Structure 1
Amino acid sequence: MTTAARPTPAQMPSRRPGTPAVQETPRPPAHREPWQKAVLASSLPANFRFVAIALSTHADGTGHIAQQPRLIGLVHNTGINARQVAVALTALCDRGFLRLSPPGGRYDTADLVLTMPRGAAARARRAENRSNTDA
């Protein structure tokens, strides 16, 4: 009695044939104040949060950034090395706090859009409620 060899993950198709690829729906811009609270309540390292808050100072109340600071502007605003700012922006994009327009663009040419990751606003509210009850 022999059994057929099981296929490895590399041999499996990336998706079911005939099904469309899942496209990520763009999230709307986040309002600046809740976005800042969510960033500050996150577990991001301090210098990443610093870059995020520096970026948010360029946004209006609705989270739109009319005058894009780009990478060099954030370097001047924060005094942090360009590579470190780029790493911080990458972490913010990976966590869902930022989106590049166009997607896959470079930080020195693409527009940055503030976005609110799922659950971040609720975590920020819980953290704020805990700090209010401690006072």
Structure 2
Amino acid sequence: MTTAARPTPAQMPSRRPGTPAAKETPRPPAHREPWQKAILASSLPANFRFVGVALSTHADATGHIAHQPRLIGLVHNTGINARQVAVALTALRDRGFLRLSTPDGRYDTADLILTMPLGAAARAHRANNRSNAAKQTDQPTP
């Protein structure tokens, strides 16, 4: 009589069978300043962050973009090739920093909407606290 091999932790499901997976939907439009801080504190490549900050300059304080720059506007604002801007927008969308008004994925026709991914504001806040603490230790005491 043989017994079945015991499963390793790598073979175990990541959650209990039958329980629904938590949806990770980004929050509705974020405020512009926390959104910019979250972009700058992210691990995105520098040119992706640059496109994100250039996009956010078109947004008002609530994160709403009234005059959409579209793809060609971001190319003119950043000086980056259109394909590279499209890749950066795709990365921002995949990370939850950006949403398109239409699901077709065309950046030259869809409206862009700023969204804050879950946990991004907290990471930006922690990064800001670390940089402020470093600045305070560098200054001489009177």
TM-score surpassing 0.5?
A: yes
Matched, 1:35 2:32: no
Deviation at 1:61, TM superposition (A): 0.1
CA distance in 2, matches of 1:125, 1:40: 11
Deviation at 1:23, TM superposition (A): 8.2
Change (3 A) 1:120 1:24: closer
Change (3 A) 1:34 1:23: closer
Give the 4+ runs in structure 1 shifted more than 6 A. Answer: none
Deviation digits for residues 34-72 of structure 1 (CA, Å, limit 9, x no counterpart): 000000000000000000000000000000000000000
CA distance in 2, matches of 1:23, 1:39: 22
Deviation digits for residues 67-123 of structure 1 (CA, Å, limit 9, x no counterpart): 000000000000000000000000000000000001233000000000000000000
Matched, 1:74 2:74: yes
For 1:47, the equivalent position in structure 2 comes to 47
CA distance in 1, matches of 2:124, 2:79: 27
For 1:113, the equivalent position in structure 2 comes to 113
CA distance in 2, matches of 1:25, 1:39: 17
Identity, in percent, stands at: 85
RMSD of Structure 2 on Structure 1 (CA)? 1.8
Runs of 5+ unmatched residues, structure 2: 1-21, 136-142
Matched, 1:104 2:90: no
CA distance in 2, matches of 1:126, 1:63: 22
CA distance in 2, matches of 1:133, 1:25: 32
CA distance in 1, matches of 2:36, 2:26: 20
Q: TM-score, with normalisation over the residues of structure 1?
A: 0.81
- Conserved in 1, the CA contact under 8 Å of 2:25 and 2:117? no
Deviation digits for residues 3-58 of structure 1 (CA, Å, limit 9, x no counterpart): xxxxxxxxxxxxxxxxxxx9876731010000000000000000000000000000
Letter in 1 for 2:52: A
Runs of 5+ unmatched residues, structure 1: 1-21
